């Protein structure tokens, strides 16, 4: 019997997600099938305290768990806020400035004020290493080890906390990078060191140097935090396995996470998409948009044919000034709009909402923690969508008078009353969040209106109907406990290792024996990594793909390739798969044109035990009278006034209940707004299916 099955016969699995405003916990007790949830304000000065608060709130103890899963925004926030480590970059002689030169992107050709990306490593800390490999990995110039040692010694006393290493063509031959890393650790023990071949086995030197620099930049902070959390859990009696969530939604051991920190950039949002995928699987739903709105940001991803859409790289910081990160991740687009987003006056008396956020400290004005500026949460409170006495199940009373004062500070200069200003703030926020959905659908060649939108996050259900109307989406699904959903999604994550090898072959000339050998090498690495895991999966699953392009093109698209096509040596079928993907992505394809294989990809997953779906009791078409908590006045724009609106307790709704808008559905960590014209139906698993009115 495997370790997983032994634990699964009576273990507790804990998952914690740290967001910009709240820290969420979901725990699954495999002995009873029970789910436990906890939510507390994030404690940014000491993140571990917020985690302990969620454990206390959920009434569970770490020592009772066999598995602790964790996702955090600490890596992405360190990049965006530019408060990482003092980092040095060691790079092949003659290539000192490729990190700064980049791709010379200029998206706005006529903008005289355009400014490029700013490297995370200043030029004075970029140093050239005497060595050179050829593109095939053969040595052109041997590594000058003494020169490297002398260079590293010169770094002492310069405040360097971290070292990034990028040597040309190390994806073909990593020997020089490995030796440089050894020398750095010998001369500067304790410093964080990151070598590019450990993160990426693909070509493109700018993307590789950007990735390794980012990993080194965030590494000391992320590694120290994970070490602190690991120590805290041990002190609390935890003796199980500690895993982090990657940007792919997969799990990897904490020792790997402390080295490859950049793989955690989108860990929380990715876990939410995995949770949405699980909900879709329960319902037999192949295509969906996963939309997450928390206190600081809103994120969107896509599930197509039952699988999350992924990408081999991402631009962090927006297209104009972005730094590329070349690692596999779920394709997620993020905007700086959340419940804590601050509304401020901009140039020309224009109103702007976000990206600045009140976070958890001081938080929105209504939190009563010192905030004085109006936020999206304050707007929802003044419009009656949140209740000052029932926020977080009544555990956190809200200060409506403080929201009114904050709203007046921006409303009065524009000659508006507080309610009109609150409504305007929500309109701007909804428009901004709709851009995230369009970015992962319309801009990918997909029709957003044809998808069901799965909405979660503490603030998501408040705005789900309005966002759906903005885009033309007809069905919205609010899953069970949306305020804890990213943490809940971690309970559905599997062990996962992603591998990629650049190959550069014409499809019509490629040797299938060579391709199978490359896939075999990656499979061996993945199986070995999973074999080292403390928690043993019940099954290992392999997913094959290739990056392909038409001959003469610069950029490639990823194409899923069933292994049968490779073993059958069916070039025609592989080409047809590529043509289909290219047509969806770009709206066109060229079946008569030859294609290149650029890189081979393999995902090795160790499948974990999942929580079983919980069905709710059968009910009548009309909700039980006991499910109605009260009636209150809620402002709706179409009515132009406050409308008497029934408020229902979600836990008392039953399968088959139908509710016509307007209505509010309250639960511990979220409130769902059903607008006039919408119709809500409760499905067999307690999900809220909302048919959007005209």
In this structure, are 310 and 162 located in the same domain?
no
Helix 400-411, helix 418-440: angle, nearest 10:
90
> Which one is predicted more confidently, 20 or 471?
471
Q: What is the mean pLDDT of residues 357-367?
A: 87
Residues 6+ apart with CB under 8 A from 262: 75, 199, 211, 214, 215, 218, 325, 327
Whether the bond into 362 is cis, omega within 30 of 0: yes
Is 440 within the bounds of a domain? no
Q: What is the mean pLDDT of residues 273-285?
A: 92
Q: What is the mean pLDDT of residues 486-501?
A: 92
In this structure, are 93 and 203 located in the same domain?
yes
> Which one is predicted more confidently, 309 or 30?
309
Residue 346 has pLDDT above 80, yes or no: no
Say what the pLDDT of residue 170 is: 94
In this structure, are 307 and 214 located in the same domain?
no
| Nearest CA-CA partner of 383 in 673, 124, 92 | 673
Is 429 within the bounds of a domain? no
Is 392 within the bounds of a domain? no
Confidence of residue 108 (pLDDT cuts 50, 70, 90): low
Say what the pLDDT of residue 44 is: 72
Confidence of residue 319 (pLDDT cuts 50, 70, 90): low
Confidence of residue 320 (pLDDT cuts 50, 70, 90): low
Confidence of residue 7 (pLDDT cuts 50, 70, 90): very low
**Distance, CA of 676 to CA of 409 (rounded, Å):** 31
Q: What is the mean pLDDT of residues 80-104?
A: 90
**Distance, CA of 54 to CA of 600 (rounded, Å):** 42
Are 485 and 275 contacting, i.e. CB atoms less than 8 angstroms apart?
A: yes
DSSP for 128-168, written as a single string: EES-EE-TTS-EEE---HHHHHHHHHHHTTTT--EEEEE-T
**Distance, CA of 280 to CA of 286 (rounded, Å):** 7
Q: What would the pLDDT profile of 111-153 be if each residue is shown by its tens digit?
A: 777 677 789 999 999 999 999 999 989 999 999 999 999 999 9
Say what the pLDDT of residue 355 is: 83
Q: What is the mean pLDDT of residues 29-43?
A: 84
Domain termination residue (choose one: 490, 520, 555) = 490
φ, ψ for residue 545, nearest 5 deg: -155, 165
In this structure, are 56 and 100 located in the same domain?
no
Residue 6 has pLDDT above 70, yes or no: no
Residue 322 has pLDDT above 80, yes or no: no
Q: What would the pLDDT profile of 161-173 be if each residue is shown by its tens digit?
A: 999 999 999 999 9
Q: What would the pLDDT profile of 237-268 be if each residue is shown by its tens digit?
A: 999 999 999 999 999 999 999 999 999 998 88
Residue 4 has pLDDT above 60, yes or no: no
Residue 199 has pLDDT above 90, yes or no: yes
Say what the pLDDT of residue 2 is: 31
Say what the pLDDT of residue 571 is: 92
Confidence of residue 102 (pLDDT cuts 50, 70, 90): confident
Q: What is the mean pLDDT of residues 457-477?
A: 94
In this structure, are 282 and 244 located in the same domain?
no
> Which one is predicted more confidently, 180 or 391?
180
Residue 552 has pLDDT above 50, yes or no: yes
Domain termination residue (choose one: 441, 458, 490) = 490
In this structure, are 17 and 60 located in the same domain?
yes
Q: Share the mean pLDDT of the chain.
A: 90
Say what the pLDDT of residue 8 is: 40
Q: What would the pLDDT profile of 555-586 be if each residue is shown by its tens digit?
A: 899 999 988 888 888 999 999 999 999 998 88
> Which one is predicted more confidently, 536 or 580?
580
Q: What total number of domains does the chain contain? A: 5
Strand pairing partners for 631? 646
**Distance, CA of 381 to CA of 635 (rounded, Å):** 10
In this structure, are 547 and 558 located in the same domain?
yes
In this structure, are 238 and 287 located in the same domain?
no
Say what the pLDDT of residue 77 is: 81
Is 404 within the bounds of a domain? no
Residue 659 has pLDDT above 60, yes or no: yes
Say what the pLDDT of residue 5 is: 34
Say what the pLDDT of residue 3 is: 35
In this structure, are 104 and 176 located in the same domain?
yes
In this structure, are 245 and 103 located in the same domain?
no
Say what the pLDDT of residue 686 is: 92
Structure tokens at 75: 């890596």
- Assign residue 575 the CATH number of its domain: 3.30.1490
Q: Which domain holds residue 284?
A: 270-332+449-490
Is 69 within the bounds of a domain? yes
- Tokens 């047509």 — which residue? 583
In this structure, are 511 and 473 located in the same domain?
no
Prediction pTM value: 0.89
Structure tokens at 633: 């006045």
Are 143 and 151 contacting, i.e. CB atoms less than 8 angstroms apart?
A: no
Are 360 and 20 contacting, i.e. CB atoms less than 8 angstroms apart?
A: yes
Residue 638 has pLDDT above 90, yes or no: no
Say what the pLDDT of residue 263 is: 94
Q: What is the mean pLDDT of residues 342-367?
A: 85
- Assign residue 291 the CATH number of its domain: 3.30.420
Domain termination residue (choose one: 160, 184, 219) = 219
Is 512 within the bounds of a domain? yes
Is 616 within the bounds of a domain? no
Q: Burial level of 484, CB count in 10 A (0-12/13-18/19+)?
A: buried
Is 539 within the bounds of a domain? yes
- Assign residue 47 the CATH number of its domain: 3.30.420.40
In this structure, are 89 and 215 located in the same domain?
yes
């Amino acid at each position: 019997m495997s370790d997983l099955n032994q634990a699964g016969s009576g273990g507790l699995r804990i998952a914690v997600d740290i967001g910009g405003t709240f820290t969420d916990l979901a725990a699954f007790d495999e002995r009873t099938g029970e789910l436990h949830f906890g939510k507390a304000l994030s404690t940014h000065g000491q993140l571990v305290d917020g985690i302990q608060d969620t454990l206390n709130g959920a009434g569970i103890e770490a020592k009772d768990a066999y598995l602790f899963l964790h996702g955090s925004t600490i890596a992405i926030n360190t990049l965006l806020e530019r408060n990482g480590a003092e980092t040095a970059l060691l790079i092949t002689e003659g290539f000192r400035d490729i990190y700064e030169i980049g791709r010379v992107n200029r998206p706005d050709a006529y903008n005289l004020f355009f400014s490029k990306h700013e490297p995370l490593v200043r030029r004075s800390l970029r140093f050239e290493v005497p060595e050179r490999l050829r593109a095939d990995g053969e040595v052109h110039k041997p590594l000058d080890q003494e020169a490297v040692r002398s260079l590293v010694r010169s770094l002492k006393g310069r405040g360097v906390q971290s070292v990034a290493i990028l040597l040309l063509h190390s994806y073909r031959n990593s020997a020089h990078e490995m030796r440089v890393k050894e020398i750095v650790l010998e001369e500067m023990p304790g410093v964080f060191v990151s070598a590019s071949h450990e993160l990426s086995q693909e070509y493109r030197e700018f993307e590789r140097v950007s990735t390794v620099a980012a990993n080194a930049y965030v590494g000391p902070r992320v590694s120290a935090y994970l070490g602190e959390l690991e120590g805290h859990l041990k002190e609390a009696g935890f003796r199980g396995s500690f895993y982090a969530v990657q940007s792919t939604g997969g799990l990897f051991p904490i020792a790997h996470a402390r080295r490859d920190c950049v793989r955690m950039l989108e860990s929380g949002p990715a876990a939410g998409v995995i949770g949405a995928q699980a909900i879709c699987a329960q319902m037999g739903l192949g295509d969906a948009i996963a939309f997450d709105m928390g206190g600081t940001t809103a994120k969107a991803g896509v599930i197509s044919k039952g699988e999350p859409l992924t990408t081999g790289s991402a631009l962090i910081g927006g297209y104009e000034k972005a730094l590329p990160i070349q690692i596999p991740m779920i394709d997620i687009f993020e905007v700086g709009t959340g419940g804590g987003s601050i509304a401020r006056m901009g140039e020309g008396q224009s109103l702007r909402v976000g990206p600045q956020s009140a976070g958890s400290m001081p938080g929105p004005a209504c939190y009563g923690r010192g905030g004085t500026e109006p936020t999206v949460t304050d707007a929802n409170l003044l419009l009656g969508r949140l209740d000052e006495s029932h926020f977080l199940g009544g555990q956190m009373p809200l200060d409506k008078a403080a929201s009114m004062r904050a709203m007046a500070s921006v409303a009065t200069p524009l000659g508006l009353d507080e309610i009109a200003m609150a409504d305007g703030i929500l309109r701007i926020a909804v428009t901004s969040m709709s851009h995230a959905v369009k970015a992962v659908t319309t801009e990918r060649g997909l029709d957003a209106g044809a998808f069901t939108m799965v909405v979660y996050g503490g603030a998501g259900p408040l705005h789900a109907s309005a966002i759906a109307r903005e885009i033309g989406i007809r069905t919205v699904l609010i899953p069970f406990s949306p305020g804890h959903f990213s943490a809940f999604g971690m309970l559905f994550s599997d062990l996962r290792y992603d591998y990629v090898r650049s190959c550069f072959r014409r499809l019509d000339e490629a040797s299938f024996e060579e391709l199978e050998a490359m896939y075999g090498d990656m499979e061996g690495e993945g199986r070995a990594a999973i074999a080292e895991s403390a928690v043993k999966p019940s099954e290992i699953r392999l997913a094959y793909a290739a990056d392909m392009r038409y001959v003469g093109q610069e950029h490639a698209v990823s194409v899923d390739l069933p292994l049968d096509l490779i073993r059958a040596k069916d070039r025609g079928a592989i080409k047809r798969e590529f043509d289909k993907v290219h047509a969806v992505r770009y709206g066109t394809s060229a079946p008569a044109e030859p294609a290149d294989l650029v890189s081979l990809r393999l995902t090795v997953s160790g499948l974990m035990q999942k929580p079983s779906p919980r069905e709710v009791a059968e009910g009548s078409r009309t909700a039980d009278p006991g499910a109605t908590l009260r009636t209150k006045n809620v402002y709706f724009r179409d009515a132009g006034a406050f409308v008497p609106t029934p408020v229902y307790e979600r836990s008392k709704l039953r399968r088959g209940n139908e509710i016509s808008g307007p209505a509010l559905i309250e639960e511990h960590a979220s409130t769902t707004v059903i607008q006039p014209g919408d119709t809500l139906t409760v499905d067999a698993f307690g999900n809220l299916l909302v048919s959007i009115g005209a």
